[in-house]
Structure 1
């Protein structure tokens, strides 16, 4: 899963890297066309998110999205680029939801933050060495094909090949894991019964749960937070190579200078995921820390003198730390939302907000402001400030709700395995199970 997520982000990052190999000039992109080419990816992501995503889809879409990445090399104009970017987004859409579902099936609630972070670690590694890979491709001595085309061809071929590996080895559920025997599969299901989040749900959609999801405050704290934080994600992911080059580095060196961003993400990912695993009620506080660090980084980019290359580079390195909040946010959904239908609605709304934020974000990076993009930097910072506020609200809500339940029902007692199983097969929601307490 970690390798797949590494390839997913590497493929997504390729468009930004290709701008340093004259992609915009070769395709004659003008004005906001590059911004829309970045945003259209999430239209495809959005379109596919409306379908019922299972981990089984991840196995074959990984092969398909590699094929769409290969097709980037055939583009000769903006229209062609828009088309392949749309289908690339559709191909990659099942990765995060599929992996989130799988993590919720295999691991207990307290184990999930570290496991979510484990496969998301591939994202950080892609940021760390993605520039090195692109740099290596950029130094290939060839005049037969443009380097930006070569970048897409190599990455696409690797991804499609790995899709075959996923198809063979990655299970759809504990009951289908080829690396477990029949007894171990039963244990894998049994050990997650205390989650009370529906690992044994029948899959029958209940409209009453959908209505409850819409009325639940935690849904909107999570959804609006996803939109706000991804205002920054959409812009910074697509324009980070251009911004880095604007600090005074050559195009190839700008690729290498993105490595500290990956290192910063790895450091904070380890801190927050380990802390969330071993210190109770710390996962949301860890997300707040990451968000504050990114806000500070964006302020440095915005306010420091344009000639302060080192200071602004430090700012850009810190500015991307917020991205590691994604696996923790996903672990909150898998841990704190129970009921098949309710979880489906919350997950769908979360990923819709993710897509909308990533679509809107690049539009603040105005072509006339290249390469510093002050409007885009301010918009990204504003989104993260809103995100920080919503995370504090979510923490406060969970604390209040847990105390309210303790007053009404008393502290959760040790219940029998039979009672745990009954909670699972009843397909009740987190608001209907009296012993359910939210993890902070």
Structure 2
């Protein structure tokens, strides 16, 4: 029997607003745990997935708007269009680091909901732009509004799911991204087909998508939980079970409320963090260019503007197929996450080679290449599951997530600069730069895999293989406010 008073002496004081004794007193059956898991899946995943669907739909809007004369109406010339994409990531970069602090100090669910509401309003402001300067300002603040979403969802996934469950759940809410790629062109096609609109089509697109996004922010405010012990869709007993389920994670899901600067320093000194950061930067050299210019590249294959929108739909289909295959493999095949990321990246490199090497007349082959070229994007939820599974300490995790997304921003800023206006619509320099980034990404993933194998073996030599721990010991580690490098029994998942 666990002595609650002894346990309270063993753990570091924190700001938890739940009763430790009450939580430990709850004895759950496997069926009760499965019921809690089903509730989490039926509520959390759709909430996060729909938000991520809207985020990527809104991100695609700029590229799609180029087919409805946005560049001509705003008199964009030379590299100005490239910079309107890049400045979005400047805004994302600007707020990523402060957000890693704020997200720990504030109720995470409410903070994310307000962020969604604000970004929807900023998206609507795009319709008021009349020149390059106005568009740059709107894009910057849109990046600020969206900066908290993916890191926040990463932290929420770590709060509610075990390490084994996280890959498929990260992929599940990221599925919204794939659906946006699949049906986003269809939505844009529908808006573009409105014949009697009183304003320009590209303005109407921003107004409609922005209004829907802000409305959804209100939904999140009421239903997205801040932590397992505040989930309104769970009973008191189910909340205790939800917390107990994740004790073995040892990743500090319950120590939010106080930012620990020592954990921030630990993140900056951790090799795994920097391998993840470098992978994020290099892979997003491709992402920044391909996402921004995909509509122009597709139109350059010989399709009309509206048909070019519809021809982007197979990209979403390819992402869905590889996302499902990868998430299943990562769930049921041990030590397969990083290997799956490497294989996905290789598929995208092959796609870019097809675009680069095939003659312009080979339209089908080049479209196949463009479809395969976006498969690398599904590595994002897997890399986020690596963060939630392998980085312990809530503050360290938030800093690592921020660094990951800062690298994401830098890569997305740099990538479009290789797509020179003089090379439109084939952009050979940009395609080669994107391909080089993915090859470097493969290298850093191999380095990360080697580091995890080496570190796990080193810990086994020093401390022996981790043994089955009691609930008391698991809770002691979970509430210890320690990082993965400070917990002797912690082993990295591959």
Same fold, judged at TM 0.5 (above): yes
Q: CA deviation at 1:202?
A: 5.0
1:400-411 map, 5 Å: 400-411=454-465
Deviation at 1:417, TM superposition (A): 0.4
Helix, strand or coil: the match of 1:260? helix
State the partner residue of 2:113.
59
Q: Secondary structure at the match of 1:109?
A: coil
User: 1:235/1:192 Cα in 2 relative to 1: closer, same or farther (>3 Å)?
Assistant: same
In the alignment, the residues of structure 1 paired with residue 205 and residue 78 of structure 2 have an alpha-carbon distance, to the nearest angstrom, of 24
- Which residue is equivalent to 2:145? 91
Matches within 5 A, 1:197-216: 197-216=251-270
Residue equivalent to 2:91: 44
Determine the structure 1 residue equivalent to 2:366.
312
Task: Give how far 1:209 is off.
Answer: 2.9
Distance in 1, matches of 2:215 and 2:197, equals 27
2: CA distance, partners of 1:397 / 1:328? 17
Query: 231-240 or 426-435, which moves further after superposition?
Result: 426-435
> Structure 2 unaligned runs (5+)?
1-47
Which residues of 2 match residues 127-146 of structure 1 at below 5 A? 127-142=181-196, 144-146=198-200
State the secondary structure of the residue aligned to 1:437.
coil
The question of whether the paired residues in 2 share the 8 Å contact of 1:55 and 1:101 is answered with: no
**Residue 105 in structure 1 maps to residue 105 in structure 2:** no
Which residue in 2 is equivalent to 1:292?
A: 346
Do 1:55 and 1:99's aligned partners in 2 also have CA atoms closer than 8 Å?
A: no
Q: TM-score, normalised by structure 1?
A: 0.98
Q: How far apart in 1 are the matches of 2:446 and 2:464?
A: 26
1:398-437 map, 5 Å: 398-437=452-491
For 1:216 and 1:143, locate their aligned partners in 2 and report how far apart those are by CA, in whole Å.
Answer: 54
TM-fit CA distance, 1:332: 0.3
- In structure 2, what is the equivalent of residue 438 of structure 1? 492
Q: Do the aligned residues in 1 keep the contact of 2:90 with 2:413 (CA within 8 Å)? A: yes
TM-score by length of 2: 0.87
After superposition, what is the alpha-carbon deviation per residue over 1:274-323, rounded to whole angstroms, capped at 9, x for unaligned?
Answer: 11111110011110111000000001000111111000000000000000
Q: How does 1:272-421 map to 2 (within 5 A)?
A: 272-421=326-475
- Whole-Å separation in 2 of the counterparts to 1:254 and 1:248: 8
SS of the residue corresponding to residue 194 of structure 2 reads: coil
Distance 2:305 2:288 in 1: 21
Q: Measure, in 2, the Cα distance between the counterparts of 1:380 and 1:291.
A: 11
Instruction: After TM superposition, give the deviation of residue 211 of structure 1 in Å.
Output: 2.9
**Which residue of 236, 241, 246 maps to 2:290?**
236
8 Å contact kept, 2:285–2:415: yes
Give the Cα–Cα distance (whole angstroms) in 2 for the partners of residues 2 and 425 of structure 1: 29
In 1, Cα distance between equivalents of 2:197 and 2:247? 60
Q: Distance in 2 between matches of 1:16 and 1:184?
A: 44
Give the one of 65, 76, 94 matched to 1:29.
76
Matched, 1:163 2:217: yes
Find the aligned partners of 1:18 and 1:297 in 2 and give their Cα distance: 25
1:404 offset after TM fit, Å? 1.5
